[in-house]
Amino acid sequence: MLSVIVSGLAVGAVYVITALIYNLMYSTSKVLSVTTGHICMLGGVFGAWFTTVLGWPVLPALLGAVAIGTLFGVVTELVAVRRVLARSDEHLWLLSTLALATMTQQAVGLWWGTEPRRFPRVIPQDFSHGAADQKFWLPIGVMVVAALGLELFYRRTMWGKLFQATSEDAFAARARGISTDRVRMMSYAISGALGGLGGFAAGQLTFAYFALGLTLTLNGFIAIAVGGLGSSVGALVGGLALGLLSAFATYLFGGEFQQTIAVGLLMLVLLIRPEGLFGARGVRAV
């Protein structure tokens, strides 16, 4: 039972990281990018490629994975978000980010292969540690650092204040001289770096797999929908709850029911609290 709980927390930590990426991108663009899970996928695939194929040590491979994630975040903003927002207020970004995510997944599949590949051990450790294995606590540790780091970033740094100002009212922020395009690009770059780090840390748990991005995108969305869009606490609660629920569903009923129960949790929460557990209620003028 302990192994089920620990594995559920580890998987939930990956969902939390994806949900935090959703929130970070959404805060400056009001866009729910479909590429969020694919950033983590790139971190895992390129981390495995750097270490197993190129033979890089762990630290350069980690920095390389973070750099790839950062680059992909910037490309997402430039190619799939900026030009769409400049021309329309409609939700056409859903199609543009979906197209970019699909092309990225297929390109990685053609280059890397369509079978999951083993991710190397980051820290020397044998496979007899059970619940203390690094494949569990590495993503949990990155989740904790990411959540605390983002909280400090928003509260203590000038860029964090600019992110909050842009999130509250982009028009007013531009009127005060804030370059909202630059702020948005910075948020996507930070999101990419976080995704690359999370994908590398979770590589031993998820394996280096080209189709992982779609799964993380869906479950990350469920996590923020359950917890509340824009809330870091909601991302933590929603992601960990989803991870634990999926782990116990697999343990009790089998893996084929895992996604069904996850979507059922989403529907249940949305029926009771459409804004999520920690989301703010929207007020509509009438």
What domain range includes position 50?
2-121+133-272
pTM score above 0.85: yes
Q: Is residue 281 part of a domain?
A: no
Q: Compute the distance between CA of residue 42 and CA of residue 30 in angstroms, rounded to an integer.
A: 24
Q: How many domains does the chain have?
A: 1
Taking a C-beta distance cutoff of 8 angstroms, is the pair 66, 193 a contact? Answer: yes
The low-confidence residues of the chain, meaning pLDDT below 70, are 89-90, 127-128, 280-286
Tell me the two tokens of residue 118: 């083993």
Question: For residue 284, what pLDDT is reported?
Answer: 47
Give ∠ CA 126-119-256 in degrees, rounded to 5. 100
Instruction: Note whether residue 285 is domain-resident.
Output: no
Q: How far apart are CA 197 and CA 70, in angstroms?
A: 10
Would 242 be classed as within a structural domain? yes
pLDDT at 282: 54
Residue 277 lies in a domain: no
Find the CATH number of the domain harbouring 252.
1.10.3470
The helix (H) or strand (E) run that includes residue 140 is helix 134-156
- Give bridge partners of residue 208 from the DSSP assignment: 117
Residue 40 belongs to some domain of the structure: yes
Identify whether the C-beta of residue 136 lies closer than 8 Å to the C-beta of residue 5.
no
| pLDDT for the residue numbered 102 | 95
Instruction: Specify the pLDDT at position 275.
Output: 80
Would 283 be classed as within a structural domain? Answer: no
Residue 279 lies in a domain: no
Decide: 106 and 38 in contact? Cβ < 8 Å.
Answer: no
**What's the pLDDT tens digit per position in 189-240?**
999 999 999 999 999 999 999 999 999 999 999 999 888 888 889 899 999 9
DSSP string for 1-45 = -HHHHHHHHHHHHHHHHHHHHHHHHHHHH----TTHHHHHHHHHH
3 state SS of 117: strand
Q: What is the pLDDT of residue 283?
A: 46
C-alpha dist (Å) from residue 157 to 135, 150, 161, 162: 32, 10, 7, 9
Rounded CA-CA distance 185/76 in Å is 9
Query: Is residue 50 included in any domain, yes or no?
Result: yes
